[in-house]
Structure 1
Amino acid sequence: MTHRFRKSTAPADTPAPDPHPVDETLPPFKSFTSGLQHVAAMYAGVVAPPMIVGPAVGLSATDTAFLMGASLFTAGIATLLQTIGFWRVGARLPFVNGVSFAGVSPMIAIGKDRGYDGIAVIFGAIIVASVLGFLLTPWFSKLVRFFPPVVTGTVITLIGVSLLPVAFNWSQGGVADAPDYGSMRNIGMAALTFVIVLALRKLLRGFLQQIAILLGLVVGAVVAIPMGMTNFDAIRNADVVGFPSPFHFGAPQFEIAAIVSMCIVMLVCMTESTADMLALGKIVDRPADERTIEGGLRADTLGSAISPLFNGFMCSAFAQNVGLVAMTGIRSRFVVAAGGGILVVLGLFPMLASVIALVPLPVLGGAGIVLFGSVAASGVQTLATAALEKGENALIVAAAVGVGLIPIAAPDFYHAFPKDLLVVLDSGISTGCVVAIVLNLAFNHLGTRPEPETLTPEKEQVAVH
């Protein structure tokens, strides 16, 4: 008796489709070095807020150093939540999270000269604001339709432009009161690093070209040693192992005024993170939809809620790492997850964290000019697709950029305004984003006028005829 079998219509050796570059896993060494480059790009930004807040609230140098280690540890946890995620938490994009600069001024106002009690009140306010933010994410993420290219391009450009003064400050030495601040030696070291990074990008190929920023930082740090610009005290005084023990500064305390202030900061952070996710989605060719933004905001807010447990501050997106993804072309989220793992390890081993701290600020500044400039360039590329010749789109960009540049060009412009408003007004990214959203809503959504959109080749052909 014969049996007939139906042949499969698909070849037996049909290869599985290649994963999207965002979901691609790279070899271990490449993942580690690329992740380390992300850590190097964000390190100064993570430790700067605790370096500023600690002394302002009256903490000792030892306690301030403890805050810095805790900030690295919690930034790693928040980054893992974003890149790996679980359930509906995490954007699952190469998205780096760290301590938000938006909260520095409010936290100083809350805890000024109060020591441990001030830190406890700050942590209590962050917990409440983060939990409320987590609950708001389903509604906040629906705002994605109000972020077309004319808005996202404007915000991305402002992110890059707003970050450039940070690189300029690092290039001068980072501490305005220092005797050598703005010296020819500091600026010369920054200029040398700037040239090294550009030369490496031009001369190298393949993977080495992709980690040009990291290589530039290493070369710059080595050159700085014989010039006496490297401070080894961080290594000498660092503990080998140091776990950020929960509630090191005492149980969190809850005060209404502090909670309101940090809720405003949380809304600012969520707005900036939304813009960053939209920008990153375009860069990695996986546009961030409503669900992606919702997951990303959940990771932001959950990471921020967990952070005070380990003595860390509010976490949000790091725009400089968005620029690094654009510059290197490495789009794997698992590379950034490796960077998150490195941050956790650095938080557990202060001795290792101090090694990265050996890179002088002028060296970071020279590399940062290239890095942050890449963010602004990405924004310009996005604006090129925004049909600026249609409707009032050019006016939207002009007004938003103009308002967004006020805190950069005139830092004391809003000095007479209430301190709570300064949380938003002193951030060019936030004010520019708000202006762009409101004007886009007024010109392109309200009334009967159709919303201007980017012309596709097919639509261009119809328009011609």
Structure 2
Amino acid sequence: MSDHQPNDLLYSLDARPGVLESSFAAIQHVLASFVGIITPTLIVGGVLGLGEHIPYLISMSLMVSGVATIIQARRPFGIGAGMICVQGTSFAFLSSVLAAGFIAKGKGGGPEEILALIFGVCFLGAFVEIFLSQFLHKLKSVITPLVTGIVITIIGISLIKVGMTDLAGGFKAPDFGSPANLALGGLVLVSIIALNRSSNSWIRLSSIVLGLAIGFVVAAFMGKISFTNLASLPAFSIPVPFKYGFSFDWTAFAPIALIYLITAIESTGDITANCIVSRQPIKGDSYISRVKGGVLADGLNSMLAALFNSMPNTTFSQNNGVIQLTGVASRYIGFYIGAMLFLLGLFPVIGGILQNIPKPVLGGATLVMFGTVAAAGVKILATEALDRRKMLIMAVSFGMGLGVIMVPNLLAEMPKLVQSIFGSAITTGGLAAIILSLVLPEGKVAEEGEPEENLNMTTDSATS
């Protein structure tokens, strides 16, 4: 960090920009996070066949994200980080939420039974993160860059299959892999890459939104879009607690509970990065208090999300880049962001339009997004001095985590609970990383006569 950086913010954390400046900054945050907030709902709704419920679920995801972002910025009763921590639907839960949905579906349940189980286990699982938030400072042996980097990399890699499946046309699509689908998805992918390389910061910031818009327009000309469902939608979306009911299943709950642990670790990293770009301390009591409050809010916001029919929330890391880009760190911008997201969610027609995004268009965008998640994990790992112990932990974690998705029938003869927990790349790889980090002693892996420092493989570029 250069010497001049502490003074290069246009608006510091507690500054109060005017309405125009605040609105302008908030729009940029909304553009950076909007697609990420709605995409998990679109994927879950499409794969599980939730059909007519999707517009309402999208509305709820936007409204909950708005309220949750305000909580993080306002920090009532010490709940929240007191910064611009934009909350959005978490990709980390995607595979486990889909697994829970298939459990309900396998029992003959329809959309309402599927959603009742998903939101039931997500609601109770949030207590894991709420509890952990109060002991984060005592979990230094678990919350390490090595474990965090491994888990985030596995999350990104395991989700790439979802993005590629959509790019080809979607799960069980009759035209799966057709040249038209591949060309449409490829167009979105190329558009996002080209736009992201623009010298204009607004275009770079909006590259995924603009890429989706380009694909949407082209798909309309190809006759792949119909708006017949919009006429039947109500004028406003009204939040109804547990609209679809509440149910529970241990085999669905176990992997989701573990991912709440992983989310606590991931959010700690995101909040720390936010502290850095917002010029706040990353050591001492104020830092610990801010992180504990932020992760506590993550858990409570995820509980709020499940209560109001949305998937678990997490702190979006991409918005740290917006703070750095704009030089606006004022937490009061969070109020504007939250209000904008809530208003967008108030109108179900927005969800209805988004529901019509063709799978190849969505796949072209999510392929970039999921790949970016994996790259973020690699970037964290690149900051580590990779000695033999850490390489062994990485090797076993990646091998076990990715192995279970490459050989899906591996656990076919095991009990359902075991299949549910260890059939997920994230839970298997994450558990392996946590357990090995705890049980393998540091500094005792060098061969006799071989100095430990000779085993380091860090490069200067890794920390750039």
**Aligned AA for 1:209?**
R
Distance change >3 Å, CA 323–CA 182, structure 1 → 2: farther
Which residue of 2 is the match for residue 421 of structure 1?
Answer: 418
Aligned-residue offset at 1:246? 3.4
**Aligned AA for 1:81?**
I
DSSP-derived class of the 2:269 partner? helix
Aligned-residue offset at 1:23? 7.5
Which residue of 1 is the match for residue 154 of structure 2?
Answer: 158
Written as runs of structure 1 = structure 2, the 5 A alignment for 1:189-204 is 189-204=184-199
Tell me how many residue pairs correspond in the alignment. Answer: 429
Which residue of 1 is the match for residue 26 of structure 2?
Answer: 31
Which residue of 2 is the match for residue 73 of structure 1?
Answer: 63
Q: Kindly report the root-mean-square deviation, in angstroms, between the aligned alpha carbons of the 2 structures.
A: 4.0
DSSP-derived class of the 1:267 partner? helix
Contact 2:251 2:416 in 1 (8 A): no
CA distance in 1, matches of 2:334, 2:412: 38
Q: For residues 298-324 of structure 1, give each alpha carbon's deviation from its aligned partner in whole angstroms, at most 9, with x where no partner exists.
A: 2232123333443x1451437xx5367
User: What percentage of aligned pairs have identical amino acids?
Assistant: 28
Which residue of 1 is the match for residue 361 of structure 2?
Answer: 363
CA distance in 2, matches of 1:20, 1:150: 34
TM norm structure 1: 0.76
Which residue of 1 is the match for residue 439 of structure 2?
Answer: 442
Contact 1:193 1:217 in 2 (8 A): yes
TM norm structure 2: 0.76
Any stretches of 5+ residues in structure 2 without a counterpart? Answer: 1-5
Contact 1:404 1:432 in 2 (8 A): yes
Written as runs of structure 1 = structure 2, the 5 A alignment for 1:81-160 is 81-91=71-81, 92=83, 94-98=85-89, 100-101=93-94, 102-110=96-104, 112-113=107-108, 126-131=122-127, 133-139=129-135, 142-160=138-156
DSSP-derived class of the 1:230 partner? coil
Which residue of 2 is the match for residue 3 of structure 1?
Answer: none
The answer to whether residue 276 in structure 2 is matched with residue 285 in structure 1 is yes
Q: For residues 239-267 of structure 1, give each alpha carbon's deviation from its aligned partner in whole angstroms, at most 9, with x where no partner exists.
A: 221212334345x56x6xx3685365233
**Aligned AA for 1:315?**
P
Any stretches of 5+ residues in structure 1 without a counterpart? Answer: 1-14, 56-60, 458-465
The answer to whether residue 190 in structure 2 is matched with residue 187 in structure 1 is no
Distance change >3 Å, CA 394–CA 87, structure 1 → 2: same
Structure with max Cα Rg: 1
CA distance in 2, matches of 1:308, 1:76: 15
Q: For residues 147-168 of structure 1, give each alpha carbon's deviation from its aligned partner in whole angstroms, at most 9, with x where no partner exists.
A: 3332222222222212222221
CA distance in 2, matches of 1:330, 1:235: 37
Distance change >3 Å, CA 344–CA 394, structure 1 → 2: same
Aligned-residue offset at 1:344? 2.6
Contact 1:197 1:213 in 2 (8 A): yes
Aligned-residue offset at 1:171? 0.8
Moved more, 228-237 or 180-189: 228-237
Q: For residues 373-415 of structure 1, give each alpha carbon's deviation from its aligned partner in whole angstroms, at most 9, with x where no partner exists.
A: 2222222222222111x34111111111112212432333333
CA distance in 1, matches of 2:229, 2:139: 44
CA distance in 2, matches of 1:421, 1:335: 45
Q: For residues 164-207 of structure 1, give each alpha carbon's deviation from its aligned partner in whole angstroms, at most 9, with x where no partner exists.
A: 22221221122x22211221111111111111111122233232
Aligned-residue offset at 1:428? 1.7
Distance change >3 Å, CA 327–CA 137, structure 1 → 2: closer
CA distance in 2, matches of 1:379, 1:122: 27
The answer to whether residue 267 in structure 2 is matched with residue 265 in structure 1 is no
Distance change >3 Å, CA 130–CA 454, structure 1 → 2: same
